[in-house]
Homo-oligomer: A and B are copies of this chain.
Amino acid sequence: MESATFVQALNLLGTLVFALSGAAAGVRQRMDIFGVLVLAFVTAVAGGVLRDLLIGATPPASITNWHALAISAAGGLFAFWFSAVIDRLRFPVELFDAAGLGIFATTGTQKALEYGIPPVMATILGMVTGIGGGMVRDLLSARMPIVLYSEFYAMAALAGSAVVTVGNALGMPVAATLLPGTALCVLLRVLALYHGFGLPHPRRRDDEPSDR
């Protein structure tokens, strides 16, 4: 099937950019090369694995074939040896990460819909597919997941997922929803990064000490 091949190619690209993001976090934490490779692999596949466990699609594809493993190992080794390069290329890295977020959110939504999950929850599961890898990466680094307290990150994934759900309800072909959904996610994410907008935080009361 052509559309399946297209989804698969998108997924491998998302795997690579998320592996780079995970490996960069491992390098910053001074992990050894094994830790860096684990963080690359886990960041790349955790969102999809979580979605597959939740919709009952076991074993997940990233476990039954070695493609995701090979791609994330390549990304992890690159980030380990050329960490200075990755530090300098902050803008491309952020852009790639936004692309991975959009790809995983939209293809995750599509897969959940194909497994018969109703629209609202399929949109949520798409977002989980997008943000899950980064959350596990942060937990393994013993940090609170960054997505929970800052940055317009999950909302961008949710918007991309919603495009797929709506397109599906309108009977549009798959490719015609995945690409615009991914593009919307990337656009929102880049706007948020460079214009610094975020979501409201709880109001701090006067009688309260500042704890961050």
A-side residues, CB < 8 A to B, are 26-27, 29-36, 38-39, 49, 53-56, 58-60, 63-66, 69, 80, 83-84, 115, 117-118, 120-121, 124-125, 135, 139-145, 147-150, 154-155, 198-202, 204-205, 211-212
Contacts and interface: CB of A to CB of B under 8 A. Distances in A.
A57 to B, nearest CB: 9
A118 B65 contact: yes
Nearest to A199: B32
Contacts of A145: 140
A200 B33 contact: yes
A59 B59 contact: no
A198 B32 contact: yes
A142 B140 contact: no
B31 A149 contact: yes
Given A55-B63, A63-B54, A211-B30, A35 B118 contact: no
A59 B122 CA distance: 12
Contacts of A199: 32-34
Given A54-B58, A69-B120, A30 B142 contact: no
Contacts of A55: 58-59, 63
B54 A148 contact: no
Nearest to A142: B144
Contact of A200 (B32, B65, B141): B32
Nearest to A205: B84
Given A34-B148, A63-B117, A140-B148, 7 more contacts: A29-B149, A31-B149, A32-B199, A32-B200, A135-B140, A140-B145, A142-B144
Contacts of A65: 118, 121
Contacts of A121: 63-66, 69
A120 B69 CA distance: 9
B58 A53 contact: yes
Give 9 nearest A-B pairs by CB, closest first.
A35-B148, A56-B58, A32-B199, A142-B144, A31-B149, A66-B120, A27-B202, A33-B199, A31-B148
